[in-house]
Chain A
């Protein structure tokens, strides 16, 4: 079976600055993989290249055996990658449920004419969209807030909503950029369970960036460590925890 994601010699320069260089990475189906590293290591930049928010300067990205070199952000999503953002990017003026529904635009298509004529196809697909959105909101414990504006949700709930919205696109690979940032320990605990549940329920692979080491060590099956844009180490949580280079990078020399 193909890996879900395969990254070869990936690199990107911003002017003179090489933010990521020579990165090799693999994510297998059904895996939860961590991507960690000190501030400014280039983790978010990797996500931005995987989703074509940034165009890589070097290397290639293979998704389910398919090179995404020619794809744009929209096509990458259609090919099965969904993500969340470090600085939350919700649709602030849309209701909570509409945020999730907007993720299903390509799954249950109907035309503008279906829309204006309120055809059966439109109504049936809208019904499916609503049902699936409600199901996702229940998983993320947001159902009771479904009709309020996304921007009025508390911080932790906004992060969960972003994950729900990403899942709505029915991805094969989910990229989470610091999903637990700003959450209290109890919220973080619940989030960990939800992430595992979601992985099993939807049978997806997850690549996550996180600074909360207890979460990373607890939930990830394998971990990549990035430092100054380069791969510093990779391995199981146990190996990473005891790796001298990693300890050094985190504590500073």
Chain B
């Protein structure tokens, strides 16, 4: 742990330092602003979902950017995390009255369940070489959505009640947790922006720890050259499974936080479009580029929402922003410039 902290401020790990400082700085600024001026609701309502999408983007980048595999169903893991969290929170509401503890518990269980699903689908698929993961995750996303669309789950004094067909669960003074296509209909909104930031920091910590280890090197080696990686003793399928399951856990975490931010949530929210949207954030931010993912996700998620009032011009501006974001995050020249600026800042810091 000590090493991680001291490494964080060494010259070698600038981009890592930037990630953490960036997130913390944005958090402080927004907290100060929200205390001093009145920020429009439109904006504050975007804070938690933005955090969720950043976590989701980072988790997907682990698979697509670092591990070099394509996942087209990450919304599926988000959905599992989301609806698991809704159930955990709903069931535990009576005996865990502290919102923060309940939120934490829901997120932990949601992410574990998502991780288990990640393990189940990736172990057989990643034993094969070839681009099967994309196909399987695509199907997985669709199946999970349809499955949750058909789950009716409620509880009362007699315990849990469950059906695949009907809303008529015969509950005595009970509460519905999931109502088929209606999804979760009466969730306590316990997610907070602070928790969103904590999850981003946690995700950054996990990903950076992983990358800077034998596991991270194995993940990237397996991506760059499969045969060479095997020739030096790297087990490809185990390595890729590790990256994928970690990613599924993080995606489940994002889903849990997301779900507990709304009183109602439909399974249809987690469809193919959502998976592709996040993939777009990752690609635009740059494969394997963590800060790129954070920036691209923030800009590309918030902008269309803020532009709603502009109506017809919205997509035009969005297109222009897409191009600009891609240029910034993927251009070597601009990266060098940014690097120079950062170096200067660091030099100043060292002199002082």
Contact = CB atoms under 8 A, between A and B. Distances in A.
Interface of A: 51, 53, 72-74, 77-78, 82-83, 85, 89-94, 98-99, 101-106, 108-110, 112, 115-118, 122-123, 125-126, 129, 165-166, 168-169
Given A77-B231, A115-B215, A169-B232, A102 B209 contact: no
Contacts of B213: 110, 115, 122, 126
A115 B217 CA distance: 12
Contacts of A109: 214
Nearest to A101: B217
Q: Which 9 A-B pairs have the closest CB atoms?
A: A89-B228, A91-B224, A77-B233, A73-B230, A102-B217, A115-B213, A103-B232, A102-B221, A106-B233
Interface in B119-147: none
Interface string B141-170: 000000000000000000000000000000
22 contacts: A51-B231, A72-B230, A73-B230, A73-B231, A77-B231, A85-B228, A90-B225, A91-B228, A92-B225, A93-B220, A93-B224, A101-B217, A102-B220, A103-B233, A105-B217, A105-B232, A105-B234, A109-B214, A110-B214, A115-B215, A116-B209, A117-B1
Contacts of A53: 227, 230-231
Interface size class of B (residues with CB under 8 A): 20 to 34
B231 A83 contact: yes
B45 interface: no
A112 B242 contact: yes
A41 B84 CA distance: 61
A101 to B, nearest CB: 6
Contacts of A104: 214
Interface of B: 1-4, 206, 209-210, 213-215, 217-218, 220-221, 223-225, 227-235, 242, 288
A118 B4 contact: yes
Contacts of B1: 117-118
Contacts of A108: 214
Main secondary structure of the interface of B (DSSP, over half): helix
B233 A115 contact: no
Nearest to B5: A118
Contacts of B229: 91, 102
B202 to A, nearest CB: 10
A74 B228 contact: no
Contacts of A91: 220-221, 224-225, 228-229
A138 to B, nearest CB: 19
Contacts of A93: 220, 223-224, 288
Contacts of A99: 221
Contacts of B218: 102, 105
A232 to B, nearest CB: 28
Contacts of B230: 53, 72-74, 77
A99 B229 CA distance: 10
A74 B209 contact: no
Nearest to B205: A116
Nearest to A166: B232
A115 B234 contact: no
Contacts of B4: 118
A102 B232 contact: yes
Contact of B224 (A92, A105, A168): A92
Nearest to A108: B214
A116 B217 contact: no
Nearest to B238: A74
Nearest to B7: A118
Contacts of B217: 94, 98, 101-102, 105
B123 to A, nearest CB: 16
B215 A89 contact: no
Contacts of A129: 214
Nearest to B230: A73
A169 B218 CA distance: 13
Contact of A102 (B210, B227, B234, B288): B234
A185 B210 CA distance: 42
Contacts of B288: 93
Contacts of B234: 74, 102, 105
Given A74-B233, A91-B229, 16 more contacts: A74-B234, A74-B235, A82-B232, A89-B231, A92-B224, A93-B288, A94-B217, A102-B218, A102-B221, A102-B232, A105-B218, A115-B209, A122-B213, A125-B214, A126-B213, A165-B228
A126 B3 CA distance: 11
A107 B152 CA distance: 51
A168 B209 contact: no
A110 B217 CA distance: 13
B225 A89 contact: yes
A77 B232 CA distance: 6
